[in-house]
Amino acid sequence: MKIFLIKNLLYSLLCVLLFTTNEAHAQVPEFLIPKDIVIQHAGSIGFMSLGIGYPVFKNKRGSLDFNYGYVPEGRGGTLRILSGKFAYRPWKIKISDGIKLYPANPGVFFTYHFGEQFDFYWDKDTYEDGYYWWSTALRPHISISTEVELDALKIFKTSKIKGIRLYSEFNTNELYLVSYFKNVGAVPLRNIFKLGIGLRVSL
């Protein structure tokens, strides 16, 4: 029952986040209105995922995204995944007038898998405490991305879109990491670091 409630709560939260965008200005405080729309392929948060993003810190080098991802059956699903992602861009390289490169951006994110086979808690009637130590639904990840920013005003001559960013992102999770560190040298890095690519549009 408790698990059911949590899942529904997360689901509702997502719906609220996705649908209270521009039309609902009057009711929503300014800081809640998303500034970015993010679409990502792979990267452990869905075959495709769609999300909203908020720049954080004064310098706007940080970002906080909430994505909803989907893996269709034909791609190894069906899976529905909610993710909350944070990343920071410590370095910026100006390539040309309208193009900037953020070469290495560390981040952390959490994923939540919906579905009966994934749980926050192990059923207490079936498993003693600590029988399995990890959660199957909630997964912490660390990531590193590379991002190219295109100045929309200069390139596309429009003021409706402020910027377009393309990124590739590697991530791994705690379960892959414990497997890696138990077997240093025996597990290739590509078995634990997984790739995704995405597009971030700043409005």
Stretch that binds another protein, among 23-31, 59-67, 132-140, 151-159 (CB under 8 A): 132-140
Applying CB under 8 A, among 35, 61, 162, 194 the residue interacting with another protein is 194
| x/- letters, 133..172, toward another protein (CB under 8 A) | -x-x--x------x---------------------x-x--
Nearest to 83 by CA among 117, 103, 53, 59: 53
Of residues 44-73, those binding another protein (CB under 8 A): 44-47, 69, 71
User: Pairing state of beta strands 79-88 and 62-71?
Assistant: antiparallel
Report the 10 Å Cβ neighbour count for 102: 20
Site membership for another protein, residue 38 (CB under 8 A): no
Secondary structure element (H or E) that encloses residue 153, with its range: helix 152-155
Phi, psi angles (nearest 5°) of residue 66:
-125, 120
Nearest to 9 by CA among 108, 136, 112: 112
Stretch that binds another protein, among 15-23, 25-33, 56-64, 129-137 (CB under 8 A): 129-137
Kindly state the tokens that stand for 41: 């392929």
Using CA atoms, how far apart are residues 198 and 196, in angstroms rounded to an integer? 7
Nearer to another protein, 59 or 183 (CB): 183
Of residues 87-126, those binding another protein (CB under 8 A): 91, 93, 101, 103-104, 111, 113, 117-118, 123, 125-126
Site membership for another protein, residue 190 (CB under 8 A): yes
Nearest to 93 by CA among 105, 102, 84, 106: 102
- Compute the least distance from the CB of residue 98 to another protein, in Å: 17
Q: How many residues bind another protein (CB under 8 A)?
A: 52
155-191: burial string, b at 16+ Cβ within 10 Å, e else: eeeeeeeebbbebebbbbbeebeeebeeeeeeeeeee
Binding residues for another protein, rule: CB under 8 A, are: 41-47, 69, 71, 75-77, 79, 81, 91, 93, 101, 103-104, 111, 113, 117-118, 123, 125-127, 132, 134, 136, 139, 146, 168, 170, 173, 175-176, 178-179, 182-183, 185-187, 189-196
